[in-house]
Amino acid sequence: MSASSIVLPQPSPAQLARGIAGAVPADLSKSPLLGILGVVTGAGVVTLTSRMISLGVPDLRGHQGFSYDQSAWIGTAFDVGLMFIGPFTVYLGGLMGPRRILLTAAAIFTVLCIFLPFIHNYHFLIVATALAGLASGTFYPLTLTFALRNIPLRYLPFTIALYASFVDGAVNIAPSLYGWYRNHLSWEWIFWNSAVITPLMMLCIYLGIPKSPPAKEHGEAPSFAGFLYASAGFALVLAACEQGERLDWWHSGVFTALFASGSFLLLCALVRRLLGPNPLVDMPYLRDRETILLGTGLFFFRFFLVTTIILVPQALAIHGFEPDQIGPAVIWTAASFVPLAFVAGFLLLSNADPRLLLAAGFTAMAVASLMNAEMTSAWAAANFYRTEFLMGFGQCFAFIGLVSAIILQGLFSGGLVKPQRILTFSAFFHTIRLFGGTLGAVLMGRFIAEREKFHSNMLGLHVQHGSWITDGSVRQMTGGFYAKSTGLAEATGRALDAVGGRLRLQAYTLSLIDGFYLVAWASVVALVLVALLRESPLKYGDLYGIQQEQAAVKGER
């Protein structure tokens, strides 16, 4: 019998659990607690900065004198930096360790955030924003790596709850926070806000994450070129997707060049991978049914966030609402998030199945979207309070259930066996997270634009000259405008503009309603994915119980 034909026996769930319980620390001292707070804060800071930039671009454009087309690349530059450094963090983390990477990147990010508002040259601003994205992009992939290898099992569910609160809360609190900064301080705080928080994160990381041992020598040198090809390829494709709607997709040479060059570099990375496997990357480890299903679930979850990032804000923005007026509608999502997150943490520690939390979250988001689909053009912020509270419940349980299932998958699929497995695992989900958010926003933006054209055409068929309803409405409005116009022609023109404005408002409202229905149906598809997930061999409560038993045995000895 050849050696290659020998099939090694697979360890039982109990054996896996004992190994995991022994590999993860059993107690939590002051130092690891600060490390947890540091990496969780880092993830929240990145999300908050990205959202604040997207909200503050109009003010930045006005104060710096940039054109609309120029300012459209500012947020993309930050996201490109995040995307580029994601896969590359595997390379850096494997060589230098998370502590050194996080401290160095956080220091660079803080300095850049301080000086970004003072940069008046457009090209320098784009470069500095991309560098800020590069520096802060290391925070996300290393968070999951640190969580799996350093957090005691009994605190892991609450760490997940804290992580979910920081990340999702940052998305929903950003409009209110930005509106307060603009009204009481200045627009520069879209950057200075991060410059204040990040040093606190650095202090927690410095005290809470121990120094990594020197990197072990591998039989084959890591491939710098392979990481470079993959990172650059993903970054260029991401930039093409973000700018596609504005550039009119394949009709634009810029979009075509970005997408083609990004695809070519990804192909080069694949060829490089096939010719010379990289010792810091374990791609076969990702070829697991559960990992692929969870990655797809993460993609769907990021798409569902368009409800509070795009649909609800645009439903209020068409009435001329400012960010501080839109904020009270979406902040209800964050208000319900924190207490519910820790309830979900207790449920996980009580052996609740993460799939049940995930299914409950997707169901709540579907119901909230259907309730929002009943909106009219007269809805104000207060009309969304009830539905956004329910959406907060859905996002909370879905996010915590998803992250919990991902961590259990990383544990029981052998993620702790080799360091490169966890790094590869983290980078994979980081890439899915970024592309899920970007492609979700692109898809929803395109969907709304097409549906708005459709509804405008359909409504226009019923608003034509010669129709007694149309002519009667124009005559009545003309009479109302006549007293404040210079003549009949101006009054009639103003009446026609008002009719056109109402038509556009109704068409846009109908397109947003279609967007809510799209999210609801996507939630149904996501529930099917949840049904396909297998039950984890053991839950968090089981793992903690085994760890306690091992600690008791050691104490008796």
The pLDDT of 442-457, averaged and rounded, is: 86
206 and 285 both lie in a single domain:
no
The pLDDT of 496-519, averaged and rounded, is: 79
414 and 526 both lie in a single domain:
yes
Closest CA to 403 of 432, 364, 375, 374: 432
Q: Has residue 160 got a pLDDT over 50?
A: yes
Tell me the pLDDT band of 544, cut-offs 50, 70 and 90. Answer: low
In-domain check, residue 312? yes
Looking at residue 91, which CATH number applies to its domain? 1.20.1250.20
In-domain check, residue 17? no
pLDDT in tens, 15-35: 555 565 555 555 554 566 777
180 and 327 both lie in a single domain:
no
Largest CA distance in the chain: 100
In-domain check, residue 8? no
212, 233, 249 — which closes off a domain?
A: 212
The pLDDT of 33-45, averaged and rounded, is: 81
387 and 309 both lie in a single domain:
yes
pLDDT at 198 (0 to 100): 92
446 and 557 both lie in a single domain:
yes
Q: What would the two tokens of residue 206 be?
A: 């410095």
pLDDT at 530 (0 to 100): 92
Q: Has residue 521 got a pLDDT over 90?
A: yes
Q: Has residue 497 got a pLDDT over 70?
A: no
The pLDDT of 348-371, averaged and rounded, is: 90
The DSSP line for 506-548 is HHHHHHHHHHHHHHHHHHHHHHHHHHHSPPPSS-HHHHHHHHH
176, 191, 212 — which closes off a domain?
A: 212
The pLDDT of 361-388, averaged and rounded, is: 87
208 and 291 both lie in a single domain:
no
pLDDT in tens, 121-152: 999 999 999 999 999 888 876 666 666 666 77
The pLDDT of 504-511, averaged and rounded, is: 84
The pLDDT of 175-186, averaged and rounded, is: 86
In-domain check, residue 261? no
pLDDT at 6 (0 to 100): 41
In-domain check, residue 337? yes
pLDDT in tens, 233-273: 999 999 999 898 888 889 899 999 999 999 999 999 888 87
Residue ranges making up the domain that contains 472: 281-557
Higher pLDDT, 286 or 329: 286
177 and 313 both lie in a single domain:
no
- How many domains, in total, are found in the chain? 2
Most confident of 64-73, 104-113, 499-508, 533-542: 104-113
In-domain check, residue 252? no
> Residue 314 in contact with residue 510, Cβ under 8 Å?
no
In-domain check, residue 217? no
205 and 343 both lie in a single domain:
no
Higher pLDDT, 208 or 14: 208
Q: What share of the chain is helix, strand, coil (3-state, %, to 5)?
A: 80, 0, 20
> Residue 372 in contact with residue 308, Cβ under 8 Å?
no
| Three-state helix/strand/coil letters over 271-333 | HHHHHCCCCCCCHHHHCCHHHHHHHHHHHHHHHHCHHHHHHHHHHHHCCCCCHHHHHHHHHHH
Angle, helices 385-412 vs 156-184, to 10°: value is 140
Q: Has residue 474 got a pLDDT over 90?
A: no
Tell me the pLDDT band of 464, cut-offs 50, 70 and 90. Answer: low
Q: Has residue 180 got a pLDDT over 90?
A: no
Q: What's the pTM value of the predicted model, to 2 decimals?
A: 0.82
Calculate the average pLDDT of the chain.
79
The pLDDT of 156-182, averaged and rounded, is: 80
pLDDT in tens, 106-124: 999 999 999 999 998 999 9
Higher pLDDT, 175 or 3: 175
74 and 171 both lie in a single domain:
yes
Higher pLDDT, 347 or 473: 347
Higher pLDDT, 486 or 369: 369
306 and 392 both lie in a single domain:
yes
pLDDT at 5 (0 to 100): 41
Q: Which residues have C-beta within 8 Å of that of residue 542, sequence separation ≥ 6?
A: 17, 351
341 and 208 both lie in a single domain:
no
In-domain check, residue 171? yes
pLDDT in tens, 307-340: 888 888 888 877 777 777 777 777 777 777 778 8
Tell me the pLDDT band of 468, cut-offs 50, 70 and 90. Answer: very low
289 and 208 both lie in a single domain:
no
186, 212, 238 — which closes off a domain?
A: 212
Q: Has residue 97 got a pLDDT over 90?
A: no
